[in-house]
Amino acid sequence: MKVSRIAAVGALAGTGVLALSVPAFAHVSVQPEGTAAKGGYAVVDFKVPNERDDASTTKLEVTFPTDHPLASVMPEAIPGWKAKVTKSTLDKPLEMHGKKITEAVSKVTWTADGEGIKAGFFQKFPVSVGTLPEDADELVFKAIQTYSNKEVVRWIEVPQEGQEEPENPAPVLELSAAEEGHHGSSSSAEASDSDDAEAASAKTDAAEPADSSDTTARVLGVVGIVVGALGVAYGVIAGRRRTDA
């Protein structure tokens, strides 16, 4: 009986560990290639996994945020996929490089020419975007994934801070702090490097006379010792000659 109970407890414990170790289902996500700094440009990848064993992903629709519109959106050409960029008129025009922008990209749609993303695979859809807003910490992109069997999965639920991740979360792009170079700090950095180089050169120049003086002193010291030794030797020899005489 004890053995049976121990076995049953062990089986239940193993089942619990297995349940905890099962990974959550993957979902459509977005990540920058490098950084996505506020006020700058970035290349972001929409990563789309295929979660079905009996169907392929044949279409992806990504809706771009309207609260922080992006005037420049350029998808990368991907073999086997067609990309369509949809623009819409802005309620409030944007200023970019001294020009007034009246429309921005509202959606990008990728459609597979062939089988699309097969079971057990994923696909990245790179997009160049800019300029990124300076008054936001993140951008939410709602996505719709369509399978070859006509099934549609809507990744449109916005994650809320302090709450559990929703079942179908929308892709969220985290923005990093604005890079210093965005405001011309590159010149400042070059000036700083130049100042450091000049300081190092000044230290080297200041050190050279001291090294030179030290070397000269050593040489004179050695010469003095040699001369002194020769003088002593000469005196000894002269003394012997006098004695012999």
Q: Which residues of 117-133 are buried (b: 16+ CB within 10 A; e: fewer)?
A: beeeeebebebebbbbb
pLDDT of the residue at 176: 94
Q: Write down the pLDDT at residue 111.
A: 98
Per-residue pLDDT, 208:
44
pLDDT tens-place string over residues 219-229: 455 445 544 55
Confidence at residue 231, expressed as pLDDT on a 0 to 100 scale: 55
The reported pTM is 0.63
Token pair listed for 31: 């990540």
Helix (H, G, I), strand (E, B) or coil at 142: strand
Angstrom distance (rounded) from CA 74 to CA 82: 13
Name the helix (H) or strand (E) containing 122.
Answer: strand 122-130
pLDDT value of position 101: 80
- Under DSSP, the state recorded for 70 is -
- H/E segment holding residue 46: strand 42-49
Low-confidence ranges of the chain (pLDDT < 50): 3, 6-24, 183-217, 219, 222-223, 226-227, 232, 236, 242-243, 245
- Residue-wise pLDDT for 24-71, tens only, equals 457 999 999 999 999 999 999 999 999 999 999 999 999 999 889 998
Q: Could you tell me which of 106, 42, 34 has the C-alpha nearest to residue 69?
A: 106
